[in-house]
Each structure stands twice: as structure tokens, then as C-alpha cells.
Structure 1
Amino acid sequence: MPQISILFVCLGNICRSPLAEGILRHLAEKAGRADEFLIDSAGTGAWHIGDPPDSRAIAVAADHDIDISGLRARKVAPADFDRFDLILALDHDNLLSLRESAPSGATARIALFSEHAFATAQDVPDPYFGGRAEFDAVYRMLYRGCASIAGSPKEEPPSYNGNTSSVT
């Protein structure tokens, strides 16, 4: 079966996009479909290249038994526009940046995450300047969208550590 290659993109690749990458990998593995996907994340900015995800993103993911601590931030590269089938921007600003930087003749489909996952034009808010509540809200939104992409149930089961999240 051919792989579906997906690149999640936010500004710095330390909050939203590594969470989306981790969630989709987790869902694909749980569904026994990990070999059907090539999943990665990147940022449109270069400030955090080589850095791990934000500690709050790591903590939110860990609370749901997803380990993103080994991921490292990178910037979108010109080759990504042909390497991936689908490049999903997590907000309109990054969508515009991706469309402006796409090489001529690139083969990737560039779309807004929420348009692809929910058929809406809603941005996934950047939780960077917020607290834990903002990261939890972003996690829930990304989980719902990634579940849609992976063909998984939209309701998240209770995590192994006893925490639950309400997906609305």
C-alpha cells in the first residue's frame, strides 16, 4: 500500500506542528496503520532549528501517552514541496508563507489543517504565549483533526495515566 506523506507546519515547529505530528503518529500506530503514513513537521521560521518542542507541548502530549520529546525543530525546505503529498499549515499566516515559498512546479498539495480535517477555515491558535489551558485546547483540536485524517474515532479514550480530555 502506498504511503500518505503529510507535513504539519506552524511558525517555529515547537508547539502546534510537533503536537500534530505526534498525535497522528500515535493514532496511526493504534490503528495498525503506521506503515501507511510518512509524518513530519516543520516551521516557516528558523528561530528554533534543532530545539525540542516547547516543554508545555511535551507535557500535554505525555499526559496522553504520546512522546514528542525526541522531535527537533526544523524549517520547511524546498524539497518538502515534492517529498510530501500534503502540507498542512496550522494557520492562515503559515499557509500564505508556504504558498509564497513553494517552488514552481511543486507537487505537494498545500492546505489549511482545519479545511482538510474539519472543512472549516479556522486557525489552530498558537498557544506559545498562553498557559497550560491553551496547550490543552490546542491538543484537543489537533486530536480531532488528526483523528479525521487517520480515520480514527473522534473521541479520545481516557489516557493510560488516568487523565481524560473532553473533545468538543
Structure 2
Amino acid sequence: MSEKKKSVLFICLGNICRSPMAEGVFLNMLKEKKLTGQWEVDSAALGSWHVGNGPDSRTMKTLEKHGLIDYKHRARTLCDEDYTKYDVIFGMDDDNMSELAERKPKKSTTRLEMLGEYDPEGERVIRDPYYDTRGDMSGFEKVYEQCVRCCKAFLDKS
């Protein structure tokens, strides 16, 4: 009998910056550790503005800069089924966490956690870089670094 896969869902406001960055980072870590078949990983949005679109070009440039060249994703919104499908749903900031808790159906079996709580450097909030100046990549680089630290710490505890 095969063991049930562990599962995580990363959430942010539009599913084009932070949550796909975290998903891409986590998938890459699983690939490096040869654990891909043991996990189900996805990301989604709280809002529907970008549904069907790929990640922000700055997200992709940041991932590619760090060697993650095969990541593909299309934005989707969080749905009620996600609250029973995933072991953990990660939010990126306090507003994400409030909305996740507010939307949580009674039948939910998932744990709601803030990804930044796993940061060994103690940076709880993963700030949305979407509205940064278009040429400024520093916010996306910071999100990447935070995702690497947090995902590694979470995976080490899993």
C-alpha cells in the first residue's frame, strides 16, 4: 500500500508573485531531494484578477536567475475544496491569513500557517513586490530568499 502524499498550497493575493515563487522554490527543493513523488504542491490566489495568467515576468526572471527554468503555472483562485485537499495552506502576510481564516469552511481539515513563521531569520511577513517600480527587482529577490529559507525549514520539519 502506498503512503498518502503530503500536500501544501501556497496563497497570496493574485497568485502571480509570492505564491508561485514559493511553489517554484518548494518544487525545486523536492526535485533536488528526490521527493517529488511524495508531495502534491500548488499555489492559488485570494482574488480573481489574474486567473489564467502566468506569473509576473519579474517572478519568472527571479526564478530563472536562480536556475529554476522549468517552472510553469497559471493563476487560479482558492476554492473550498482546497481546505480539505491540502494538509497545509500557507499565507504570505497577516491579511492573507485573516482572509484564509474567514473563508475557511466548517468541513476544513487543513492547517492554516504563515510561511514566514518558518523563517530562521524571523521575517514573518513576505511582502508583496507587485507594486514595486517595474525595473526594481530587489523586492522579488527578497521574496525568493525568504521562500528559500522558509521552504527549507518547513521541509526539514516535515
Look up the match of 2:137. Answer: 132
Query: Structure 2 counterpart of 1:144, which letter?
Result: R
TM norm structure 1? 0.85
Query: Structure 2 counterpart of 1:134, which letter?
Result: G
1:64 Cα deviation from its structure 2 partner: 1.1
Cα RMSD, aligned residues only: 1.8
Deviations 1:92-132 (A, max 9, x none): 10111011001112000011111245495721011111220
Residue in structure 1 matching 2:17, options 1, 15, 18? 15
Query: Structure 2 counterpart of 1:150, which letter?
Result: L
Partner SS for 1:87: strand
Matching of residue 150 in structure 1 with residue 155 in structure 2: yes
TM norm structure 2? 0.90
Residue in structure 1 matching 2:91, options 89, 113, 123? 89
Look up the match of 2:44. Answer: 42
User: Unmatched 5+ residue regions in structure 2?
Assistant: none
Matching of residue 62 in structure 1 with residue 67 in structure 2: no
Question: Residue 117 of structure 2 contacts residue 150 of structure 2 at CA under 8 Å; is this kept in 1?
Answer: no
User: Unmatched 5+ residue regions in structure 1?
Assistant: 153-168
Aligned-pair identity (%):
33
Aligned length: 152
Deviations 1:10-45 (A, max 9, x none): 000000000000000000110111112111000101
Deviations 1:52-111 (A, max 9, x none): 000000000011111365200011011000000000001110111011001112000011
